[in-house]
Amino acid sequence: MDSPSALDPPAEAAGPSAPLLVECVGLRKTFGGVVALNDADFNAIAGEVHALVGENGAGKSTLIKAIGGRIRPDAGTIRIKGQAQALGAPEDGHALGIRTVFQELTLLGGMTVAENLLIGREPRGRLGFIHRRRMGEEAEALLARMGIEHIDPLALVEETSLAERQIVEIVRAINNRPDILLLDEPTSSLVEREVNWLYGQIEELRKRDTCIIFTSHRWHEIRNVADRITVFRAGRHVGTFEDIDESEAITLMTGKRVSTLYPAVPPLPARDAALEAKGLRGGRLNGVDLTLHKGEILGVGGLAGHGHRELFFSLFGAERTSGGEILVGGKPVRLASPRQATRRGIDIALVPEDRKTEGLFLGMSIRNNMTLSVLGRISSAGVLNFGAERRVAEEMARRLGVRMQGLRHPVGSLSGGNQQKVLIGRWLLMEPRILLLYDITRGVDVATKHELYELVSRLAGQGHSILLYSSDAEELAHLPHRVLVMREGRIARELAGPDMTAESIVSAAVRDTAQS
């Protein structure tokens, strides 16, 4: 691949022809001592889809929040529709026709989908009370109009999946007919089909002359929908382009050259089964059979809600099964809790989907987060050996290249990718034989993704067995040895070798669902 060097960026796009809808000049924002935006400029016009790309911590989310009125910049000017604005609250943005879909969702978990969708504009009955039945109907009509059938408007938000919440959030924002729609990683929890739905919505909005600004870490998405691409690095605007390829963009984002995103798949040793599931049932699982071999990276794909989450949690003892068996190293085991799964001799570790509520303790130190899995090893008779603890944590942080100020700092102060490394580090300390990795690159920047891929590949090469779920079909097509596609709680298809492409994974996931 002959990409230009870091100092030789591709030609920047010419200045926009239409009048500017959003214009940011010299924005600056610091949090504590950390500079999130550093003299950042940005502009966007009506009827364009504008992608913001950059590493985690490059300032994309902060810029989105500043335009949406969620935070107030320390310095600089934001002009909306030609007028300088002091946006201090999301309501200010709403008044100007700006709507934002945040990366961390803002729905109220204890309320229904309908209540969330129509919040602030609920249909009223004769006495001014909320008309419950009509609300359900209106919400259903709204979802149907947008082509969403699988979400029950009367379901509680906390009972819906991450992807469903994301969709509700997007529907709510679009329903307000914004002139400017800000989407902060809208696709991070969506699978292919839902992503296509979103593209459709974006296309509609573009026709209505809406300005759409979005961030994403998935390059093929950016290329598919964006009219212009703006690259941010370290809080600064690096350039805006109409056409730029991935390696050029990565070079601009990181200031380094990355040759290929995916490492070579390590060779597979003798086919010894490390982990087997036979006819696993319970919850959404409807008889799952699989065999994970020693040193193998086994991919799991499929649409959201088809049982991968339950599969991973069942294999980790965190979800009850109603039938079938799990074998570790050929021997049947009963896993009633994660504690049993992590026990010596079984050695299964799970890196869960939602690292903020299921994985890490954001307020606790990096060290304490990491060593939680090996407290037994760094203590005697229940008393901690701080020296040993510091040593193992330091060594793991170095091995994984965690970028931090110190082990005593809270994990919450790290960027998303580095948080993920801490979580993976916790489990590597345990020296697991079997690693269950659930969408570990979701919301992680390209450079860190690259590091994580190398890590996964290296771990497999060292003999760890890895079961890997990903919502990114590209990732599944490149990283694992084989891919299992799940549908309706069972393994519908196994793909390997030349058949293992993103397209075949997606079509295997969708095909029969469409027929039924």
Partner 1 sequence: MTILEPSTNEPPPASAVRGARLGVTPDQRRILYAIVAAILLFFIGGLIRPGFSSPSGIAAVLTVACFVGLVAAGQTFVILIGGIDLSVPWTLNAGAILMMSTAANSDARMPFALLVTLGMGALVGLCNGVGIAVFGVPAVVMTLAMNGVLEGLTLGLSGGLTCSSCAAYAPPLLQAAAHGTILGIPAILYLWLGVILLASFILSFTTFGRGTYAIGNGARASYLAGVNVTRTTIILYVISGAFSALAGIMILGFGGQAALGLGDPYLFQSIAAAVIGGVYILGGRGHYVGTVAGSISLVALVSVLMAMNMPEYGRSITYGVIILVLLLAYGRETAER
The minimum distance between CB 38 and partner 1, in angstroms, equals 14
| Distances from the Cα of 157 to the Cα of 106, 136, 313, angstroms | 11, 14, 21
443 in Cβ contact with 384 (< 8 Å): no
The minimum distance between CB 224 and partner 1, in angstroms, equals 25
Identify which of residues 224 and 385 has a Cβ nearer to partner 1 in the complex.
Answer: 385
24 in Cβ contact with 77 (< 8 Å): yes
Residue 67 in tokens: 């335009």
Binding site for partner 1 (CB under 8 A): 31-34, 36, 56-57, 59, 61-62, 65, 70, 102-111, 157-158, 165, 184, 316, 318, 337-339, 341-342, 350, 352, 356-364, 368, 372-373, 375-376, 379, 382-384, 405-406, 408-410, 412-416, 426
Identify which of residues 107 and 437 has a Cβ nearer to partner 1 in the complex.
Answer: 107
Identify which of residues 115 and 296 has a Cβ nearer to partner 1 in the complex.
Answer: 115
Helix (H, G, I), strand (E, B) or coil at 509: helix
The minimum distance between CB 155 and partner 1, in angstroms, equals 14
How far is 101 from 106, CA to CA, in rounded Å?
8
How far is 157 from 148, CA to CA, in rounded Å?
16
How far is 295 from 456, CA to CA, in rounded Å?
11
Helix (H, G, I), strand (E, B) or coil at 66: helix
Identify which of residues 200 and 361 has a Cβ nearer to partner 1 in the complex.
Answer: 361
Q: Minimal CA–CA distance to 210: which of 13, 14, 18, 12?
A: 18
210 in Cβ contact with 52 (< 8 Å): no
Identify which of residues 95 and 375 has a Cβ nearer to partner 1 in the complex.
Answer: 375
Identify which of residues 446 and 491 has a Cβ nearer to partner 1 in the complex.
Answer: 446
The minimum distance between CB 278 and partner 1, in angstroms, equals 24
The minimum distance between CB 415 and partner 1, in angstroms, equals 8
The minimum distance between CB 506 and partner 1, in angstroms, equals 29
Nearest 5°: the CA angle 309, 311, 313 is 70
The minimum distance between CB 419 and partner 1, in angstroms, equals 9
| Distances from the Cα of 27 to the Cα of 34, 42, 251, 447, 471, angstroms | 15, 9, 24, 25, 34
The minimum distance between CB 358 and partner 1, in angstroms, equals 5
Identify which of residues 413 and 507 has a Cβ nearer to partner 1 in the complex.
Answer: 413
How far is 360 from 356, CA to CA, in rounded Å?
5
Identify which of residues 4 and 109 has a Cβ nearer to partner 1 in the complex.
Answer: 109
Q: What is the 3-state secondary structure (H, E, C) of 393-430?
A: HHHHHHHHCCCCCCCCCEHHHCCHHHHHHHHHHHHHHC
